[in-house]
Each structure stands twice: as C-alpha cells, then as structure tokens.
C-alpha cells in the first residue's frame, strides 16, 4: 500500500518535470560557455551607464549573436579601440566590440565576418543649396578638432575645413549658412538629430565620404569562437530584431503619421475621396469626352486660322482624292480653282488643270504632264513627303507639300514664298556673278603674270650678258654707275618675285586636291632642310605630333613660308623658333613661335591682306601671308598671329576635323611651291 502510493508520487514528479522541460527554451538547458567582451566608450554603440552596466547598440547586438552561438557574455571596459585590442593581447578579453576592419588590426588579431559599417557622412541643411556631394566642392566643411572626421572632410575637393570643439557646436552655423556641411559619424549624429526633432532640417548626403566595414576581433588562436560566431552571422541575423535594435539606439526619422490625429485625418480623406470618386465617375466620363471633342474642334479651327494668316492654301481630300474641305486661304489665293473644289474635282484633275490653263507655266506635252501628275500622287500615297517649289504665271512662288493624313485622307498645302524666293534668286544671281568675276580676275592675273615673266627674264638675262661683255672687254664702270647697275638688277629680281607671287595667289584655289597621310613631325624636318635657315637660329620641332590627312605640297608651302618669314624678319642674327601641335575640340592646331621683334596689335589682322608690308628693310612682294591665309581658308582652317612671351610672335594654323573622314588641302603645282620660298612674313 505504502509502496504503491510512493510509486504514484514518483511517477507524477517525473511527469511534471517532463512538462516543465517541454515548455522551457532550449537555452535554459543548454550548457553555455563564458566569454569576455572588451568595449569602448562610443555612445550609442557602446558605453557604461550610471550603474556601471555596459549598454548600447553594439552591446545588445553582441549579446544577441553570442547567445545564439551558445555563449554567456560578460563585458569589460576597454576605454578606447587601442585598449580593446590590448585586452585581447594580454588575455583580459576574448572578443572586442565592433571595430573598423583595418590591415594593422588584422595583423594582431583575427576577425569575424563583416557586421555593418562605420560611415563618415556629410550632413547638410535640407532647405539649403547643396543637393549632392559635387555641390560641396570648394565649400566650408565643419568637423570636430582631432577627430577622424577631418579625414572625411579632406575628401571634399578644395574644401575649406572649419574645426569645432564639439559636433553640437556645428549645428547652428550649418542652419545659418556659415558652413555648407558637417562631416561626422552617420548613425550617432542621426540619433542626436532625431532626439532633438531636427532630422527634417538636417539630412545626410549619400554616399558616405568614408565607409569602413565593421567586425568583432578575437585573439589569433581562438578560431573555434570565430567559427561559432560566423555561423550565426552567416546564417542570417533576424532582420526584424536588428531593425528594432537600430530604432532603439539610433531612433528613426520623424513622420507625420506618428501623430494619431494625422492618421485619422488620412483615413477620413481616403474615405471621402472614394465616395467622391464613386459619385462623380460617370459624370466625369461624359464630360471628358465632351471636352475632348470641343478641344479637337477648337484646335482644328486655330490651325486653319493660322494657315490663313501665313498665306497658306490647304485642301483635304478623301481616299478617292476628292476634295472634302478647304480653308479660306485656298479661296483667296486660288479663286479660279474654287468651282472645281465645290464640284468635287479630284486632285488629279486639279493638278492637270493647273498645267493646262497656264496657272503653272511649263514646256511639257500632255503625256509628260500626265506622268508628272501621277508621280506627285504616287509620292503622296506612299508617304514620300517631298517639298516642291511652284512658280505661277503671274509671278507668285509657292512651296508645295502633299502628305497623307491617316489612312483615308490626304492634304495639299501651298504656302506663298514669293518674297523669300526673290531674295534667294537675287542671292544666287549675285553669287554666280561673283564666281564669274573671281574667275575672270584669276584668269587675268594668271595671264598678266605669265606675260610679264618673259620680258623680265629677258631683262635679267640681258643685264647678265652686258655685265659679262663688260668684264670680257676689261671695262670697269665708275662706282656710281656700278651702284646703279646693282640697283637695276635688284629691281628686276623684285619684279620677278612679285610676278611669281601673283601667280601663286591666283592659282591657290586649285581643284586638284590629292591627299595623303603624313607625319607633320617628319614632314617638317624635310621642310626645314629645304628652307635652309641661316646659322645662329635654333629650330625645334615636336616629335609626337598627330598624323594628318592632307595635301602634302600645300602643307609644305604654308609651313615653309612661316619658317622662312620667322628667320627673315628676325631683328637679330640669332634666335629660337619652335613648331608644336595642340589638339582642340574642332581639330588640330600647329603653332610656329619665334622670339623676334613681334607684330604690333594694330597690324595683326592687316598683315594677311595682299600687298601689305610692315618693313622695307627686307625684300618681298606683300603677298606672302595673304597666300598663306587663302591656302589655309581653302581647307576650312584659319591662320592668326598672337604675341609670344616674353617677346616674339606665335602663328597658329588650324586643321579642322575632316568632313566625311578626310582632311582635304589644295594641291599647288611644283613651280608655284618653289616660288613660295620667297614669301615675306610681313609682306
């Protein structure tokens, strides 16, 4: 009896124990292992409260991870990051709180997988002018003296860093516009703004200036603890729990919906909107259709009125090409066609009649007229929008277009352009006459130059023969006669150079435009060799100038003239000349720079005019730079002169990007090219 009672009591106890065990969490029975975590005073990540208890976002996060990994956590104050690492090294701690991952720390310890990051972010006033990081360039950036935030502020290009004792001291200067941004820790500063209700006035800019991955550090040998913690981190931390932790320690952005009154007002507004939408739906549908039709009709009327104002005649045809509508402009401009329109004449008939009754003058027979009309109609039906110029017998001119309108309608539009066409005809006539006059002038100049060469050559040869005969006869001329003789020879040579330069100037617009790919650097070396500069001058040519697709002879002519001019008009027996290239958006520019006397500002444009000379101390015809300008202009380039520093001139010759893939320069004949060696820099 007693044994039976004892047995029942024992069984009941075991059953009760089983029930208790079934409702207790697994962690209450599991064997936990103690670990010590070192932390620093970095509120709100980790800090010690007034009771001496470790608190903060990192503290709660580490406790959560360690508990899930089967560890019992105790916290040891480390003071600062270096103290936390020292606690690992001397065995006072098994784990650190969150620290930034750096190579130096990874040499002393091992780390878990990344757990978030520490971000240095720029905060700006939401009502200020700064919208993104690029707007901060050259601005005033606030940061706490001696803090890591100074490195973040230095990330802003050309920033003026303004240092403050505390981060709170920077808020009013930011809102007052004295500084453009504050650089500080993102999470901690957001917490301060939210707690003060200022997160609507100040906001962070993305992305962060400096973002450092964060993790937990362990002693190098404790890989078992590292593996346990990483298992929890990699398996996916409870996102809802992490979100709750962040809101607990960093707060969240304020919202109107935090106010219950606003929530109820929003619900009421939604209800009223739904009721209004339900009651007005059908009325809105009908009104919308009515307004759409009225707008379409009004738009048509406005378009027709506008066409009337610009002297335009418009006719709408149906799919059978019968006129169904025309504007008032049609009746005013072509009254003779109105009866046909009213009788439902087809477009084919109207076009044919305009030719047959003389409205549109022509020299076609009936078959050609029919072919022309069919071509116009075929182009219109197939959507080929062609623009035609129509000249009427009464002198008026119209621009005509025939276009499809949807699937079943077509439109013919005639806009009067009489005055405009008269101007175009006048411009074309003047251009034709100018071309003819230029051609006649070029022909005259070429003939005159050619006809003058022969007597000049004969005169120079005769002077040479007389001189030889005098020498052979042993006759010595008086000194005054010899001086006159030399002057006569010089005048003859100058006349010959003038004739040759006229020939060059007249033939610059040659149509022979053969081009080839050349290396300016190599080509200029040959040009320099042919120019034969006198001793005492140092000439340098860049070795890496880009290749050009040019007419080589024309290129040689222009560059040789510029080089010889720089030497001939130098005011010293020695000097420096350089040739270099400069790429531009529009092409390439070659620069020829000397250290000579330079050219005064009033003459920098004038020297490119024909027969302009600035000095009588050197020979020349005054056509040299005019020839260069004309040649460069013929390939679409420009030539100009600027002052050089400290003295001298810089001649710039441009080569525009080729049209259609090729840069075309005019080709001059070899005789012309050789004559160009005599061209003067100043005339």
Burial of 301 (0-12, 13-18, 19+ CB in 10 A): exposed
Residues 101 and 220 in one domain: yes
CATH label of the domain that carries residue 608: 3.30.565.10
CATH label of the domain that carries residue 338: 3.30.450.20
Nearest CA-CA partner of 557 in 585, 526, 582, 581: 526
* 296: helix, strand or coil: helix
Residues 79 and 42 in one domain: yes
Residues 569 and 633 in one domain: yes
The pTM for the full model equals: 0.36
Q: Contact 411/314 with Cβ under 8 angstroms?
A: yes
pLDDT of residue 183: 93
pLDDT of residue 18: 45
- What residues are paired with 312 via a beta bridge? 415
**Dihedral over Cα of 220, 221, 223, 224: its sign:** negative
Pairwise CA distance, residues 239 & 325, whole Å: 71
Q: Contact 467/477 with Cβ under 8 angstroms?
A: no
Pairwise CA distance, residues 228 & 112, whole Å: 10
Q: Domain ends where: 396, 416, 436?
A: 416
* First-residue to last-residue Cα distance in the chain: 144
pLDDT of residue 665: 43
Q: Could you tell me if residue 1 is inside a domain?
A: yes
Q: Could you tell me if residue 569 is inside a domain?
A: yes
Triad 358, 361, 364: Cα angle to 5°: 100
Q: Could you tell me if residue 674 is inside a domain?
A: yes
Pairwise CA distance, residues 155 & 158, whole Å: 9
Q: Contact 621/683 with Cβ under 8 angstroms?
A: yes
Residues 531 and 599 in one domain: yes
Residues 397 and 429 in one domain: no
Lookup: tokens for 521 = 């650097």
pLDDT tens across 595-639, in order? 999 888 888 888 888 876 666 566 666 677 888 888 888 778 899
Q: Where are the beta strands (DSSP E) in 56-206?
A: 71-79, 95-96, 99-100, 110-111, 117-125, 140-144, 160-164, 181-185, 202-204
Residues 589 and 492 in one domain: no
Q: Could you tell me if residue 182 is inside a domain?
A: yes
Q: Could you tell me if residue 608 is inside a domain?
A: yes
Instruction: Scan for tokens 């003779």, then name that residue.
Output: 336
Pairwise CA distance, residues 77 & 542, whole Å: 68
Domains: count for the chain: 6
Which segments of the chain have a pLDDT < 70? 1-31, 236, 253-266, 275-276, 278-279, 282-283, 285-286, 289-311, 437-451, 453, 494, 497-514, 612-622, 658-683
Q: Contact 653/639 with Cβ under 8 angstroms?
A: yes
Pairwise CA distance, residues 412 & 386, whole Å: 11
Pairwise CA distance, residues 95 & 226, whole Å: 9
Residues 531 and 668 in one domain: yes
Q: Could you tell me if residue 272 is inside a domain?
A: no
Q: Contact 78/62 with Cβ under 8 angstroms?
A: no
Pairwise CA distance, residues 524 & 590, whole Å: 11
Residues 108 and 132 in one domain: no
Q: Contact 307/328 with Cβ under 8 angstroms?
A: no
Neighbour-count burial for 111-137, b at 16+ CB within 10 Å, e otherwise? bbeebebbbbbbbbbeebebeebeebe
* 403: helix, strand or coil: strand
Residues 5 and 129 in one domain: no
Strands 95-96 and 312-317: unpaired
Nearest CA-CA partner of 550 in 503, 505, 513: 513
Q: Could you tell me if residue 99 is inside a domain?
A: yes
Q: What is the CA radius of gyration of the chain?
A: 47
Strands 516-518 and 548-550: antiparallel
Q: Could you tell me if residue 617 is inside a domain?
A: yes
Residues 364 and 394 in one domain: yes
pLDDT of residue 328: 82
Q: Domain ends where: 463, 481, 502?
A: 502
CB atoms within 10 A of CB 187: 19
Nearest CA-CA partner of 591 in 541, 663, 518: 541
What domain range is 21 assigned to? Answer: 1-26
Pairwise CA distance, residues 489 & 496, whole Å: 11
* 116: helix, strand or coil: coil
The number of CA neighbours under 13 Å toward the Cβ of 508 is 23
pLDDT of residue 319: 84
Sheet holding 639-643, edge to edge: 537-541, 575-584, 587-594, 649-656, 639-643
Instruction: Scan for tokens 């100038």, then name that residue.
Output: 545
Lookup: tokens for 236 = 């996916």
Residues ≥6 apart with Cβ < 8 Å to 247: none
CATH label of the domain that carries residue 156: 3.40.190.10
Q: State the maximum Cα–Cα separation within the chain, in Å, rounded to a whole number.
A: 177
Nearest CA-CA partner of 96 in 29, 46, 52, 171: 46
Neighbour-count burial for 198-232, b at 16+ CB within 10 Å, e otherwise? ebeebbbbeebbbeeebbbbbbeebeebbebbbeb
Centroid of chain to Cα 653: 26
Measured CA to CA in angstroms, residue 555 lies from 415, 464, 516 at distances of: 49, 36, 11
Helices (H), 56-185: 57-69, 81-89, 103-108, 149-153, 171-176
Residues 565 and 432 in one domain: no
Residues 526 and 668 in one domain: yes
Instruction: Scan for tokens 């020979």, then name that residue.
Output: 619
Q: What is the 3-state secondary structure (H, E, C) of 236-275?
A: CCCHHHHHHHHHHHHCCCCCHHHCHHHHHHHHHHHHHHHH
* 156: helix, strand or coil: coil
Pairwise CA distance, residues 510 & 508, whole Å: 6
């Amino acid at each position: 009896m007693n044994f039976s009672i004892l047995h029942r009591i024992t069984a009941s106890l075991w059953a009760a124990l089983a029930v208790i065990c079934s409702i207790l969490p697994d962690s209450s029975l599991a064997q936990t292992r103690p670990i010590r975590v070192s932390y620093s005073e970095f509120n709100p990540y980790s800090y010690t409260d007034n009771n001496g208890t470790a608190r903060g976002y990192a503290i709660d996060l580490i406790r959560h991870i360690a508990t899930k990994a089967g560890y019992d956590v105790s916290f040891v104050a480390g003071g600062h990051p270096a103290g936390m690492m020292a606690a690992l090294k001397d065995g006072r701690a098994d784990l650190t709180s969150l620290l930034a991952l750096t190579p130096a720390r990874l040499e002393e310890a091992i780390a878990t997988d990344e757990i978030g990051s520490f971000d240095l972010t720029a905060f700006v006033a939401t009502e200020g002018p700064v919208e993104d990081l690029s707007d901060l360039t050259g601005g005033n950036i606030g940061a706490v003296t001696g803090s890591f935030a100074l490195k973040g502020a230095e990330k802003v290009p050309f920033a003026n860093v303004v240092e403050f004792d505390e981060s709170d001291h920077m808020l009013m200067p930011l809102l007052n516009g004295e500084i453009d941004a504050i650089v500080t820790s993102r999470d901690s500063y957001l917490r301060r703004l939210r707690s003060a209700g200022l997160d609507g006035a100040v906001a962070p800019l993305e992305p962060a200036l400096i973002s450092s991955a964060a993790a937990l550090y362990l002693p190098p040998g404790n890989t078992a603890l590292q593996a346990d913690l990483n298992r929890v981190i990699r398996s996916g931390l409870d996102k809802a729990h992490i979100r709750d932790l962040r809101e607990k320690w960093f707060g969240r952005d304020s919202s109107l919906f935090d106010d219950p009154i606003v929530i109820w007002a929003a619900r009421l507004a939604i209800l009223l909107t739904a009721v209004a939408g339900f009651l007005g739906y059908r009325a809105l549908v009908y009104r919308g259709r009515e307004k759409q039709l009225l707008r379409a009709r009004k738009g048509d009327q406005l378009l027709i009125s506008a066409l009337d104002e610009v002297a335009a005649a418009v006719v709408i045809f149906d799919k059978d090409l019968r006129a169904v509508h025309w504007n008032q402009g049609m009746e005013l401009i072509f009254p003779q066609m109105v009866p046909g329109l009213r009788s439902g004449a087809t477009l084919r008939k109207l076009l044919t009649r305009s030719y047959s009754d003389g409205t549109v003058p022509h020299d076609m027979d009936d078959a050609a007229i029919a072919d022309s009309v069919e071509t116009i109609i075929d182009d219109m039906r197939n959507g080929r929008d062609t623009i035609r110029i129509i000249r009427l017998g009464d002198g008026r001119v119209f621009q005509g277009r025939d276009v499809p309108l949807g699937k079943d309608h077509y439109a013919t539009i005639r806009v009067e352009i009489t005055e405009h066409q008269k101007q175009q005809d006048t411009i074309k006539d003047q251009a034709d006459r100018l071309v003819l006059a230029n051609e006649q002038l070029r022909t005259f100049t070429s003939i005159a130059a050619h006809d003058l060469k022969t007597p000049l050559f004969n005169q120079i040869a005769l002077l040479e023969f007389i001189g030889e005969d005098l020498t052979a006869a042993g006759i010595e001329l008086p000194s005054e006669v010899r001086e006159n003789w030399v002057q006569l020879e010089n005048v003859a040579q100058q006349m010959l150079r003038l004739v040759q330069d006229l020939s060059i100037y007249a033939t610059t617009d040659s149509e022979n435009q053969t081009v080839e790919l050349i290396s300016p650097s190599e080509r200029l070396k040959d040009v320099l060799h042919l120019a034969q500069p006198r001793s005492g001058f140092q000439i340098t040519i860049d070795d890496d100038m880009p290749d050009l697709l040019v007419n080589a002879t024309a290129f040689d002519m222009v560059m040789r003239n510029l080089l010889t001019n720089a030497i001939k008009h130098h005011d010293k027996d020695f000097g420096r000349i350089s040739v270099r290239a400069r790429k531009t958006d529009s092409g390439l520019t070659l620069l020829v720079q000397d250290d000579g006397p330079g050219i005064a500002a009033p003459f920098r444009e004038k020297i490119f005019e024909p027969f302009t000379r600035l000095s009588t101390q050197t020979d020349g015809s005054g056509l040299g730079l005019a020839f260069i300008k004309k040649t460069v202009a013929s390939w679409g380039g420009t030539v100009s002169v600027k002052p050089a520093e400290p003295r001298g001139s810089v001649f710039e010759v441009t080569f525009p990007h080729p049209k259609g893939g090729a840069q075309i320069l005019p080709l001059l004949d070899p005789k012309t090219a050789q004559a160009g060696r005599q061209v003067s820099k100043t005339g």
